[in-house]
Amino acid sequence: MAGSIQLKKGTKMQLAFDVPVGQEPQFNMLCTFNKALDESAFLVSAPMVDGKRLVPDESQKLLFKYTEGEESNILAGYVDDVVKEGIRHYLKVRRVAEQRQFIKRMDVRMKVELPITYMQDTWELNSEGEVDKEKGQTMDISNNGLAVYMNRWFEVGESCIFTLPRLGTAAEGQPSREVVGVICWTREMPKGSPFRFVAGIQLRFADQQECQDMQDYVAYVKKRYKL
């Protein structure tokens, strides 16, 4: 985590209970940011639910959504304590290593499982002077992003190179695509899952042609798998 949270006192935050991977959290509670205590802890006002102050279980992971400019961001954490200052009650939240950035997409994420490989240029080289790619699988795909199952943990903000598989025939299908993405969030998968983690990826394009190539690939996926 890169330093304490830099938010103004009084910033409105939407609050939700964490949900399993693949489900959408329901941000149906409101609170306000009070202050950062250190790099990992901060105070928010205790939200009211059905006329009563919420005091969540210490094992319940919470998600806090707030807006900066054009982007909505999410912090995750667990309540350590309830702090009283005068007549006000605040939740002391211990932040965990997850900060998801919701990307404003003009397209729709399509749930489809495609085998992929991924790598970083900084990984150690093998005996042939190449980087060994690791195997993963998509959870969903869109023109601007991916959600990927993998067995390696990445920190938010790290870049990674993904190779999407060739689809269909040479004449009518789509060739394999290499794309670069930035990690927006990473979560652990439940025990017994074939992969250890799932990560949200925002794709980066060097030029308009790369962007168009990805749009063509996604359009073919939609047509091929009738999504």
User: What are the residue boundaries of the structural domains of the chain, listed by start?
Assistant: 12-102, 110-224
What is the bridge-based pairing of β-strands 145-150 and 12-17?
unpaired
User: Which residues, listed in sequence order, are joined to residue 1 by a DSSP beta bridge?
Assistant: none
Percentage of the chain modeled with pLDDT above 70: 91
Tell me how far apart the alpha carbons of residues 35 and 76 are, in angstroms, rounded to a whole number.
Answer: 16
Tell me what pLDDT residue 69 has. Answer: 67
The tokens describing 84, both together, are 């009283």
Residue 205 tokens, joined:
């394009």
User: pLDDT digit string (tens) for 24-36?
Assistant: 788 999 999 999 9
Distance from C-alpha of 61 to C-alpha of 16, rounded to nearest angstrom: 9
Tokens 């998600």 found at:
63
pTM score over 0.85: no
| pLDDT at position 1 over 70 | no
Identify the pLDDT of residue 178.
97
What pLDDT is recorded for position 107? 55
Instruction: Over range 101-106, report the average pLDDT.
Output: 44
Top-ranked range on mean pLDDT: pick from 45-54, 57-66, 98-107, 211-220: 211-220
Nearest to 4 by CA among 84, 94, 101, 100: 94
Q: Are 36 and 23 in contact (CB under 8 A)?
A: no
CA angle 109, 114, 115 (to 5 degrees): 140
CA-closest candidate to residue 96, choices 68, 70, 67, 59: 59
What integer best gives the mean pLDDT of the chain? 87
Residue type, 93: V
Phi and psi of 54, rounded to 5°?
-75, 125
Cβ-Cβ contacts under 8 Å for 132 (sequence gap 6 or more): 119, 123, 126
Q: Does the domain spanning 12-102 belong to CATH 2.30.110?
A: yes
**Statement: residue 78 has pLDDT above 80:** yes
The DSSP line for 175-189 is: --EEEEEEEEEEEEP
Q: Give the pairing of strands 48-49 and 110-111.
A: unpaired
The correct answer on CATH 2.40.10.220 for the domain covering 110-224 is yes
Joined together, the tokens standing for residue 147 give: 């959600």
Helix (H) or strand (E) holding 208: helix 208-224
Rounded CA separation 215/219 (Å): 6
